[in-house]
Amino acid sequence: MRIAVVAGGVGGSKFLWGLAQEVGEESLSAIVNTGDDIELHGLAISPDVDIVTYTLAGLVDTDKGWGFAGDTFHCMEVLAKYGQPAWFKLGDRDLGTHLFRTQALRQGRRPTEVADAIRRALGVRVRVLPMTDDPVTTHILVGDGPIRHLHFQEYLVQRGAVDEIRGIEYRGSARAHPSPEVLAALREAEAIFLAPSNPVASIGPILAVPGIRDCLRRSQAPIVAISPVVGGQSLKGPTDKFLGWAKVEVSPMGVARLYDSALDGLDGMLIDRADAGEAARIEELGIRVRMEGIVMRGPEDKRRVARAAVKFVEEL
Ligand code: FO1
């Protein structure tokens, strides 16, 4: 079965890793958020694309969820000595990726081509596709008086997501087009999963690209979301804060409703057994529900969630 997965960084990569073990890498395409992309020290950094690639390559630092395992940060120490911003920790090995990406983009290669070169070089057979080759940047609006516009990484990493969210902009998304590779992956897919990533900050920028949203709306393939919320709490990071801003209930039901309206119909939702009480309410929306333990800590959890998702979609 050919599967397309719409994914952010850490949550998306864990689910993709499990899927790769269960169905094999060749049948998978990952359509990855690039709203988090940032330029720092003159380098083009694409965190979610790298997280997905490193995870599938078995090279990621599984404690942090990003960067290469065992990386060192000597270059950052030198940059800090020169008074350069050092809040976004780029490992010495990781810098190799950013140097390569920056140089290749300057030579005129598309982000999709560069991501493809990187994943192939690292031995990944899943097609890792940036959501678009056009620039899209997620900005978080904060501030009690005058509104400040923060880049997503400034909000999340530099300031630790402490600010109250006043607004979110997916800058450039309205003018962005999906790449031919993304369109092909979506059209060929026999099943589409929305990974357990932040619905507003990670999946939101992808669905904000009109050509992707339209393609998903028209898709004949079943679309199944894996809930990023368990027992009223987000699986990772400040997802609840983002859902709160979007006036979405921090529950599988809230996320189901959000996706259902964004896609003009969601086919299925995989939720945690802890949320069994919500199943009937979600099914009232016409969305089929499957329950499983969906918290992914170790490799066996990731495989179990992936197995449940595949079985569910096969039965839809
Ligand atoms: N996240 C952090 O919390 N702190 C960092 O210093 C940091 C550095 C970093 C470097 C490369 C990379 O690919 C990812 C990195 N991340 C870091 C993760 C990233 O900011 C977010 O987790 C994602 O953008 C959200 O999906």
Ligand 1 lined by 203 (C-beta under 6 Å)? no
- How far, in Å, is the centroid of ligand 1 from the Cα of 34? 13
**Encoding tokens for residue 56?**
């599938």
Q: In sequence order, what E strands does 202-249 have?
A: 223-226, 229-230, 233-234
What share of the chain has pLDDT > 70, as a percent? 100
Atom 16 in ligand 1: which residue has the minimum CA distance?
66
What's the rounded Cα separation, in Å, for the pair 199 and 228?
A: 8
pLDDT digits (tens, 9 = 90+) for 263-313: 999 999 999 999 999 999 999 999 999 999 999 999 999 999 999 999 999
Ligand 1 lined by 73 (C-beta under 6 Å)? no
Q: In this predicted structure, what is the pLDDT of residue 236? A: 78
Mean pLDDT, residues 172-200 taken together: 98
Question: What H or E segment, with its residue span, contains residue 301?
Answer: helix 299-315
Burial class for 213, CB neighbours closer than 10 Å (0-12, 13-18, 19+): middle
202 Cα nearest atom in ligand 1: 26
CB 74 within 8 A of CB 144: no
Cα distances (angstroms) measured from residue 126 to each of 98, 118, 225, 239, 253: 20, 12, 20, 26, 31
pLDDT digits (tens, 9 = 90+) for 31-86: 999 999 999 999 999 999 999 999 999 999 999 999 999 999 999 999 999 999 99
